């Protein structure tokens, strides 16, 4: 079990700069709470392999404990799909933003189709957790923070449009679904291959050396 390259370095940089982590499903939200950093927030996709798309909080916590240490893992708030444990040992996923999956077999060929059940006031996504809902509360603030977003897949698309600085990270197999989507939709983004490559850019903006517009030009 391994974290994506550069994640530990990225995590340590944020920790050294007093930037607490909040994991959002397969993403990390970083709140910068002290003086000049009080107007900045970063969000990124950790992509720990065993998490799949459900992103169950207990599983994330256990994996992070093994990878970065129990103390650091316990200090990280996790916003994700959860799990209900039953007395008979069975368990069930509790989706934050439910969707219904229907198995059908048209013309004799089985396929999985996705039917979204809209619930008033509740976001729905095919991944059980609409990641844009982690960003929108900050966007609605009277003085919204600068938002950094790091992701690599289709589950990140809903959140990508709300970022000030968007990093599209290449997967180990060379694919970059988020970058492909951004190019097609004309969304400005920066392509990286590992987390540590984002550090100089975050640092330049946080320290006032460059503006968001300059970075994204």
In this prediction, residue 203 has a pLDDT band, given cuts at 50, 70 and 90, of: very high
Burial 43-72 (b: 16+ CB within 10 A, else e): bbbbbbeebeebbbbebbbebbeebbeeeb
- pLDDT tens digits for 21-38? 667 665 344 444 333 344
User: In angstroms, rounded to a whole number, what is the distance separating the alpha carbons of residues 43 and 166?
Assistant: 9
Nearest CA-CA partner of 149 in 56, 65, 27, 51: 27
- Of 83-97, 128-142, 150-164, the range with the lowest mean pLDDT is 83-97
Provide the residue ranges of all domains of the chain, joining segments of one domain with +. 7-81+130-216
Give me the pLDDT at residue 97, please: 65
User: In angstroms, rounded to a whole number, what is the distance separating the alpha carbons of residues 45 and 200?
Assistant: 18
Beta bridge partners of 23: 28, 78
- Residue 61, phi then psi, degrees to nearest 5: -60, -45
Question: Does the global pTM surpass 0.85?
Answer: no
In this prediction, residue 162 has a pLDDT band, given cuts at 50, 70 and 90, of: confident
The residue-averaged pLDDT of 96-106 equals 45
Give me the pLDDT at residue 216, please: 96
Q: Is the pLDDT reported for residue 173 higher than 90?
A: no
Q: Is the pLDDT reported for residue 129 higher than 70?
A: no
Q: Is the pLDDT reported for residue 215 higher than 90?
A: yes
CB 137 within 8 A of CB 31: no
- Residue 158, phi then psi, degrees to nearest 5: -65, -30
Nearest CA-CA partner of 101 in 71, 78, 128, 62: 128
Rounded to 10 degrees, the C-alpha dihedral 168/23/2/125 comes to -60
The residue-averaged pLDDT of 127-150 equals 79
């Amino acid at each position: 079990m391994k974290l994506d390259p550069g994640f530990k370095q990225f995590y340590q940089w944020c920790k050294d700069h007093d930037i607490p982590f909040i994991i959002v499903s397969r993403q990390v939200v970083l709140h910068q709470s002290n003086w000049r950093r009080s107007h900045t927030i970063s969000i990124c996709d950790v992509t720990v392999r065993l998490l799949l798309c459900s992103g169950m909080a207990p599983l994330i916590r256990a994996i992070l404990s093994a990878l970065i240490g129990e103390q650091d893992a316990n200090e990280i708030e996790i916003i994700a799909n959860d799990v209900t444990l039953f007395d008979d040992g069975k368990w069930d996923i509790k989706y934050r933003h439910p969707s219904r999956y229907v198995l059908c077999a048209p013309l004799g060929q089985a396929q999985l189709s996705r039917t979204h059940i809209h619930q008033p006031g509740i976001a729905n996504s095919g991944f059980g957790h609409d990641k844009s809902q982690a960003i929108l509360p900050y966007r609605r603030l009277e003085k919204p923070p600068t938002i950094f977003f790091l992701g690599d897949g289709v589950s990140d698309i809903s959140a990508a449009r709300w970022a000030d600085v968007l990093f599209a990270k290449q997967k180990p197999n060379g694919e970059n679904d988020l970058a492909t989507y951004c190019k097609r939709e004309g969304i400005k983004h920066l392509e990286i291959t590992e987390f540590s490559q984002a550090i100089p850019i975050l640092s330049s903006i946080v320290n006032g050396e460059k503006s968001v517009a300059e970075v994204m030009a």
